[in-house]
C-alpha cells in the first residue's frame, strides 16, 4: 500500500514537473513571439518614418524651386519697370518727394532667394515645428510636409504665366468714315499730361496700399510696389500720362501687363489685365484706353495693380490719383 502511494506521489510530481516545463516553454515561446512582433513593429515604424523623411526632403526641394520661381518673378518685374527701354528721355521731370529704391527691393529679393537656397531641410523643419529631423516624430514631419506643399501649390498656381488675350483685330474702314476718338477717362486730372496723375480706372476702393504688407497669396511679409484698385472684371483702364508703350504682354506674377515710359523719368505699370488693347511701341496720350481690369497672374480677385516709377525709384501711386 505504501509502495503504491509512493509511486502515485512520484507520478504526480512527474506530471507537475512536466506541466511546469511545458508552461515554461510556452512562456518562453510567448516572449520570443512578442519580441519578434515588437521588433517587426519597430522595424516597420522606422521604415515609415524614413519614408516620411524622404518625402519631406523631396518636398523641401520642390519648395526651394517654387520659392526661386516666386523671387525670380519679383526680381524680373522690378528689372522690367526700371529698365530704360532704349526710349529717349526728352525732358526731366521734378522728382517726387517720397520714393523707395527699386534696386534695394531687388537686392532684398535676391538675398531672400539665396537664404532659401542655402537653408538645409533640417533648418526649415526646425523653423516649422521646432524640432530637428532626427528628433521629430512622424506627425511633426507630416505637418511640415503639408505646410510646405500648400506653399508650393499656391506659388505654382499663382505664378503660372497668364495667357494673354490677343488684341482685337482692327477692321479697315472706308476712307470717308472718321474713326472715333479713343474714349477718355473722365476721372483723369487736368494739368501736365507728361506727369502721371488721375485715376487709371474707376474703382470702388484701394484694396491694398503701397508699402510693407503680408502677401495675400504667399503669406509672407513683402513690399507692395503699387496700389491695388478693386474694380469689376472688364472695367476700362486708361493711361495716366502721355507716353510710349514700352511693354505689353505677360510678365510672370503681373499677368497681362503694360508698362508706359513717359520720357521724362516717369514710368507707370498696369497689371493683371483681362485684356490689352495697345501693343509695344505704340504712342498713347493721357486718358487713352489701354486695356481692361482682370485677375491674371498672381491675383486673388479682379483689380488693377498700378505702379509709378521715377527712374530707379518707386513712389506711392495713391498720391497721384
- 18/100 same-domain check: yes
Does residue 221 sit within a domain?
yes
Q: CA–CA separation, 75 vs 71, rounded Å?
A: 6
Does residue 218 sit within a domain?
yes
Q: What is the model's pLDDT at position 22?
A: 62
Q: CA–CA separation, 298 vs 72, rounded Å?
A: 13
Query: What are phi and psi for residue 144, nearest 5 degrees?
Result: -65, -45
- 145/210 same-domain check: no
Does residue 167 sit within a domain?
no
Q: CA–CA separation, 286 vs 166, rounded Å?
A: 23
Does residue 169 sit within a domain?
no
Q: pLDDT, tens digit, for every residue of 120-166?
A: 999 988 888 888 888 888 888 899 899 889 888 877 766 665 444 44
Q: Any residues with CB less than 8 A from the CB of 301 and at least 6 apart, and which?
A: 207, 230, 295
- 209/292 same-domain check: yes
Q: What is the model's pLDDT at position 303?
A: 95
In this structure, what CATH number is given to the domain that contains residue 216?
2.70.70.10
Q: In which domain, by residue range, is 261 found?
A: 205-319
Rama region for 209: left / alpha / beta (φ>0; ψ in -120 to 50; rest): beta
**Cβ contact 162:168 at 8 Å:** no
- 146/210 same-domain check: no
- 31/151 same-domain check: yes
Threshold 0.75, pTM exceeds = no
Q: Any residues with CB less than 8 A from the CB of 303 and at least 6 apart, and which?
A: 203, 207, 228, 229, 230, 231, 272, 293, 295
**Cβ contact 215:40 at 8 Å:** no
Q: What is the DSSP string of 213-274?
A: EE-TTT-SEEEE-SEEEE--TT-EEE-SSSEEEEEEEE-GGG-EEEEEE-SSSEEEEEEEES
Q: Which three cell numbers stand for residue 59?
A: 518636398
- 148/24 same-domain check: yes
Helix (H, G, I), strand (E, B) or coil at 163: coil
With a cut of 80, say whether residue 222 has pLDDT above it: no
Q: Give how many domains the chain has, as a whole number.
A: 2
Which has the minimum average pLDDT: 27-31, 119-123, 166-170, 311-315? 166-170
Helix (H, G, I), strand (E, B) or coil at 320: coil
First to last CA, the chain: 124
Contacts of range 166-175, beta carbons closer than 8 Å, 24 or more positions apart: 167/275, 167/276, 167/277, 167/278, 167/279, 168/277
- 139/30 same-domain check: yes
- 51/124 same-domain check: yes
Q: pLDDT, tens digit, for every residue of 73-95?
A: 889 889 999 888 888 888 888 88
Q: What percent of the chain has pLDDT over 70?
A: 79
Does residue 74 sit within a domain?
yes
Amino acid at each position: 500500500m505504501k509502495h503504491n502511494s509512493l509511486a502515485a506521489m512520484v507520478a504526480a510530481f512527474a506530471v507537475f514537473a512536466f506541466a511546469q516545463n511545458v508552461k515554461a516553454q510556452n512562456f518562453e515561446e510567448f516572449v520570443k513571439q512578442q519580441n519578434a512582433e515588437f521588433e517587426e513593429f519597430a522595424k516597420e515604424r522606422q521604415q515609415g518614418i524614413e519614408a516620411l523623411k524622404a518625402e519631406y526632403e523631396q518636398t523641401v526641394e520642390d519648395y526651394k524651386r517654387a520659392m526661386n520661381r516666386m523671387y525670380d518673378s519679383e526680381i524680373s518685374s522690378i528689372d522690367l519697370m526700371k529698365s530704360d527701354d532704349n526710349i529717349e528721355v526728352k525732358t526731366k521731370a521734378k522728382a517726387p518727394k517720397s520714393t523707395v529704391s527699386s534696386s534695394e527691393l531687388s537686392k532684398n529679393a535676391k538675398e531672400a532667394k539665396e537664404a532659401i537656397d542655402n537653408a538645409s531641410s533640417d533648418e526649415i523643419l526646425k523653423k516649422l515645428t521646432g524640432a530637428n529631423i532626427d528628433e521629430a516624430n512622424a506627425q511633426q514631419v507630416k505637418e511640415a510636409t503639408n505646410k510646405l506643399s500648400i506653399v508650393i501649390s499656391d506659388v505654382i498656381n499663382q505664378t503660372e504665366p497668364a495667357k494673354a488675350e490677343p488684341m482685337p483685330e482692327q477692321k479697315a474702314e472706308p476712307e470717308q468714315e472718321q474713326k472715333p476718338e479713343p474714349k477718355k477717362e473722365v476721372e483723369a486730372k487736368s494739368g501736365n499730361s507728361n506727369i502721371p496723375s488721375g485715376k487709371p480706372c474707376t474703382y470702388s476702393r484701394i484694396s491694398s496700399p503701397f508699402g510693407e504688407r503680408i502677401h495675400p497669396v504667399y503669406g509672407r511679409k513683402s513690399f507692395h510696389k503699387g496700389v491695388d484698385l478693386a474694380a469689376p472684371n472688364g472695367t476700362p483702364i486708361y493711361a495716366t500720362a502721355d507716353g510710349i508703350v514700352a511693354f505689353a504682354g505677360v510678365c510672370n506674377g503681373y499677368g497681362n501687363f503694360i508698362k508706359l515710359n513717359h520720357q521724362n523719368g516717369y514710368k507707370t505699370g498696369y497689371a493683371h489685365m483681362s485684356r490689352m488693347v495697345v501693343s509695344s511701341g505704340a504712342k498713347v496720350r493721357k486718358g487713352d484706353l489701354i486695356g481692361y481690369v482682370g485677375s491674371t497672374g498672381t491675383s486673388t480677385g479682379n483689380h488693377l495693380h498700378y505702379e509709378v516709377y521715377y527712374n530707379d525709384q518707386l513712389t506711392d501711386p495713391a498720391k497721384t490719383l
